[in-house]
Amino acid sequence: MDTSDTRAGAIDRAERYFDSGGFAADLARLVAYPTESQVPARAPELMRYLREALQPRLAAAGFACEIFANPEPKGGPLLLAERIEPQGPRVLSYGHGDVIRAQETQWRAGLRPFDLTDAEGRLYGRGSADNKAQHLINIAALEAVLAERGALGFSMRFVIEMSEETGSPGLDAFCAARAGRLASDVLIASDGPRLQPDTPTVFTGARGAMNFDMTVQLRDGAHHSGNWGGVLADPAMILAQALSTITDARGCILIPEWRPDSLTPAISAALRDLPVVGDAGPEIDPEWGETGLSPAERLYGWNAFAVLAMQSGVPDAPVNAIAGEARATCQLRFVVGTDMKQILPALRRHLARAGFGDTVRVTPHEEKPFCATRLDPRHPWVRFTAGSLERTSGRTPHVLPNLAGSLPNEVFSDILGLPTVWIPHSYRGCSQHAPNEHVLKPVCRDALRCMVGLFADIADTGGPAPAAP
């Protein structure tokens, strides 16, 4: 068998599938499941997605499928699909079928979150970018290779969870309990955005994320500002003062323990000239963030503190009263080199030094924080993947040591001990986690071609030579 012919033939099959409208029709069926894992009433949809949308398709491709209850009661079900072949490497993949809250009333006129809309070269729908189009592309790529070759030439497993948008509860316990069954040579999965839409991206880990509340509770209820203004402390003012000590006026982090030590010269050199600007998103603020770093270094190699929401009083219907409480929901995105266990203790020590120790309460959120992970970009599987993507797309991929966002990558890198290679199929302007979420059709088509080429290359070569100890 001429492997170059089967590679080209499989790519041609995938192109016909996309150009005929097959991909959009399949994505529409997936998006139609309202799999909002943050909405308890949607729990039945999580199981329906696995049982009705994914299991039959994977079974038709020769995968043995099994659906498991989550070991964590708050988590959704998980699907394990396996196609074991006698030769070649063992590849594990991952995806999630749950989506963030739909925000139905906030989508623009003519768009509905669970009805896929094809417009302006985009496919609009909740979960289109995160993560339904992404695991659909990978499944469809495998189907094209199988249709052309009759076999994969390697073993493939999928883990699809339904709780990623609530912090992936139970995924770690599920995988740890099946570490032997999930033993593989590499994780190849897809989530997140490309750095630029027209160029494939490879990243090997993710920034961690920890969410917490900072609260100033001074008294019960509010009191008239005319009768009490000037003699009652204002919790919103105190909270604002406390928040202002965490960074300087341009957002540079001032807590020493929150400043990572992992931006080595090698990582800095790999990141410094990557094109962060030019994507179809908001204009970046060049004077915001850590001084002396390029935008790419700030985004992928450094920590970022954000205030996600603040409230005091009743913002939508303010009255002339001094509130009794103020609260800010905050987040630290952090890279390898930050001690996750010390993030909140360090914040409490910092607030105490600044004079707020008895006033500002720091409370972690119930959701388990994401850990920070990173694989050396020189790893053989990273180089092999980047070479395959370049062969198919004609463009040198952007290789990142980690995603700027967060994923449960530590489950695969730390618990299962795998090299982790992520190939995102979206772009940064996709409105992920917002109204009008969408994927770009040209990116999806190119990603489908790239994944077919990658799976064909793994089948033909057996993957890269093993890494040196």
| Helix locations, 20-115, DSSP H | 22-31, 43-48, 55-60
Give the C-alpha separation, 395 to 375, whole Å: 22
- Closest by alpha carbon to 371, among 325, 330, 397, 339? 339
Pairing, β 420-422 against β 186-189: parallel
Phi, psi of 455, deg, nearest 5: -65, -35
What number of other Cβ atoms are within 10 A of residue 145's Cβ?
Answer: 30
Could you tell me the sign of the dihedral formed by the alpha carbons of 65, 67, 72, 74, in that order?
Answer: positive
Give the C-alpha separation, 349 to 215, whole Å: 16
pLDDT digits (tens, 9 = 90+) for 175-194: 999 999 999 999 999 999 99
Q: Is 1 helix (H, G, I), strand (E, B) or coil?
A: coil
DSSP 345-407: HHHHHHHHHTT-TTTEEEEE-SSPPBPPB---TTSHHHHHHHHHHHHHHSSPPEEESSBSS--
The alpha carbon of 468 is separated from its chain's Cα centroid by a whole number of angstroms, namely 30
pLDDT digits (tens, 9 = 90+) for 390-420: 999 999 999 999 988 889 999 999 999 999 9
Pairing, β 321-322 against β 223-224: antiparallel
What global pTM score does this model have? 0.88
CB 361 within 8 A of CB 214: yes
Query: What pLDDT is recorded for position 193?
Result: 94
Give the C-alpha separation, 383 to 89, whole Å: 16
Query: What pLDDT is recorded for position 377?
Result: 87
In the predicted structure, residue 84 carries a pLDDT above the cut 60: yes
| Domains of the chain, earliest start first | 3-206+373-461 (3.40.630.10), 208-269+286-364 (3.30.70.360)
Query: What pLDDT is recorded for position 266?
Result: 86
pLDDT digits (tens, 9 = 90+) for 331-366: 999 999 999 999 999 999 999 999 999 999 999 998
| Helix locations, 84-187, DSSP H | 133-149, 171-177
pLDDT digits (tens, 9 = 90+) for 235-254: 999 999 999 999 999 999 99
Query: What pLDDT is recorded for position 3?
Result: 64
CB 176 within 8 A of CB 64: no
User: HSE-up of 344 (CA within 13 Å, CB side)?
Assistant: 16
Query: What pLDDT is recorded for position 469?
Result: 46
Give the C-alpha separation, 55 to 58, whole Å: 5
Query: What pLDDT is recorded for position 275?
Result: 86
pLDDT digits (tens, 9 = 90+) for 130-139: 999 999 999 9
CB 98 within 8 A of CB 165: yes
Six-digit token string for 328: 């800010």
In the predicted structure, residue 103 carries a pLDDT above the cut 80: yes
State the average pLDDT for the chain: 95
User: HSE-up of 435 (CA within 13 Å, CB side)?
Assistant: 10
Give the C-alpha separation, 286 to 41, whole Å: 43
pLDDT digits (tens, 9 = 90+) for 281-316: 688 898 999 999 999 999 999 999 999 999 999 999
The residue with greater pLDDT, 267 or 90, is 90
CB 114 within 8 A of CB 31: yes
The mean pLDDT of 99-106, rounded to a whole number, is 97
- Closest by alpha carbon to 261, among 341, 374, 371, 337? 337
In the predicted structure, residue 450 carries a pLDDT above the cut 60: yes
Six-digit token string for 51: 């049982």
Query: What pLDDT is recorded for position 340?
Result: 95
In the predicted structure, residue 279 carries a pLDDT above the cut 60: no
Say what percent of the chain tops pLDDT 90: 90
